[in-house]
Each structure stands twice: as C-alpha cells, then as structure tokens.
Amino acid sequence: MAYNKLVKKEMPIKMLRKSMLSGIVIRSYAKNKNFLSDAMVKKLREHSKHHTIKHMRSMVGKIERGMSFSKAHQETMKKYGK
C-alpha cells in the first residue's frame, strides 16, 4: 500500500534546537541579574516558546530600561521580527 512508503518528516534542526528558555538564561540577558522578578521570568519563559533568542535578549534589555512588556515586544518585533 502507498501509505507504508510515506516517511515521517523530521522536524527542522532549528525547531529541535529551539526550546523554552530557562529562567537562568533569561536572567543572564539582563545586566542587573536581580532585576527580573520570578513572575516576569515566568512570563518571559512562556513568551520564549514563540520567539528567537535575539528577540528575547532585546526584550529583556528594553524591559530593564523601564519599558513595559507589550511596548518592548512591539519595538522588538519592528526591529528583529519573530
């Protein structure tokens, strides 16, 4: 039968490598390591499932300079995209 010959496609390498960032990694993006609260780190971890590392670094930097989460996200999307 024809369906036996179908080979399951493997996920692209980028997708395999991309996983949810840990809180330690997210905190390491900030210059002041104690700046981010646990709640903010949790929110950024969930956000990291859908965005690149470059996007996340940019967002953490903007948040650290006093920008809100949504404003930091909007500006980062304009500059780096997803």
What are the pLDDT digits (tens) for 22-59? Answer: 888 888 888 887 888 889 888 988 888 888 889 999 99
Task: Please state, rounded to an integer, the average pLDDT across all residues of the chain.
Answer: 80
Would you say 29 and 41 are in contact if contact means Cβ atoms under 8 Å apart? Answer: no
Question: Residue 47 is inside which H or E element, if any?
Answer: helix 38-48
Pair 20, 49: CB distance under 8 Å: yes
Quote the CA–CA distance of 77 and 29 in Å, as a whole number: 18
**pTM of the predicted model as reported, rounded to 2 decimal places:** 0.70
Angle at 45 between CA 62 and CA 30, to 5 degrees: 35
Q: Give the tokens for residue 10.
A: 């493997």
pLDDT digits (tens, 9 = 90+) for 12-30: 555 544 567 788 888 888 8
